[in-house]
Structure 1
Amino acid sequence: MSSPSPTLARTLEGRLIVSCQAPPGDPMRETATLARLAQAAEAGGAAAIRANEPEVVAAVRASVDLPLIGLWKDGDTGVYITPTVRHALAVAEAGADVVAADATDRPRPDGSTFAQLVEAVHAAGALVMADVSTLAEGIAAAAQGADLVSTTLSGYVTGSPQQDGPDLDLVAALADAVDVPVVAEGRIRTPQEATKALARGAHSVVVGTAITAPTALTSKFVSELAQR
């Protein structure tokens, strides 16, 4: 098993990573806007930024002085978070300190293994965050060289728990099972839930929608008011 650099691990421990992303068609999905979101997160005390697509990764890299976790979503079904070695290397070349990639047991579009992606990213000088949906996937990813393991995909892949809140049970199980930092990510909506994730063994916590998605947040308010 590998582990992130001591400096990065200390920087992230017990702290917040802010995901600055926007879905296709959203007014926020514009490179300069997402870079400004990253600046706002830095001003608010975030420890690191998570950003999608090489162009945005490069813009964020030029805009903030924080560790940067990059990924490249390509498609919306199957393995689409940094699905191939080519995607991973492009993210690393754009300036990501850590490349986040799907590490589920589903086949990758280029026929590569997760271990091969890890090897390529390490050779490029970056670290790897494994986005997983189950305990078995997290254990396998750590064994294949992932530097961090994240619960990102729990609830979004068949066979993982379908629940409204964060999968804190998976956070705790991974923290007990792997020797690399475990990152809690997915449906964390409040500071209290983030604190609970740390209490269950998370090394750090990623929050996206609850901080950086005004369209989704507005929709929730509108929906609640319409049901009164």
Structure 2
Amino acid sequence: MPAPALAPERPAAPRPLAAVGVAEDGDEVSAAVDTHAPDVVLMDLWMKRIDGVTATRRLRARQNPPEVVVLTTFDSDENILHALRAGAGGFLLQDTPPPEIVDAVRTVAAGDPILSPRITRRLMDRAVTQSDTRERARAALEALSTREHDVVQAAAEGRSNAEIATRLYMSVATVKAHVSSILTKLHLDNRTRIALLAHDAGLA
């Protein structure tokens, strides 16, 4: 007697997603996470008091932290690298279609990273030219003193003047003086360029 045919198993339905809370600014993120215990946080970068990179770094330093997916319009190389180094598991642009955002949340919740295709392409292009760029950046940084190197390193990590002052045991005024000297020596026009140069040199 032939064995009875078995119906194929239905694939498990994806776990439903729910938005459990909203934080208006980066300084409200930790409290919102304490209240709602989300698996994944969608993080903007531009916020008034505490930016998304700092908020991400603080979240990822916690015990059993939620995953973070950056969802933003600010897609400069600096922002991408800062966010990823702060612990973000994904980086999406705000024009990403909603179904792809949902898929990204599920992917990151499962422990896998996700990047917008445009971001992936840019990082690949950056990797191709990184070697030559790194040598030029390191040569430029040789003009700095040891203390100025320390300031550059901290700035590349996205730290504010106050955070740099605390870390390096100096006053905020001294940090500002170092930043001014660095800008002059490297012929740069703002501290964003300092951070990018530091990234190019492989300091962060």
Give TM class, smaller chain.
Answer: 0.3 to 0.5
- Greater helix fraction, Structure 1 or Structure 2: 2
TM-score (norm 2): 0.36
TM-score (norm 1): 0.33
Q: Which has the higher contact order (CA 8 A, sep 6+)?
A: 1
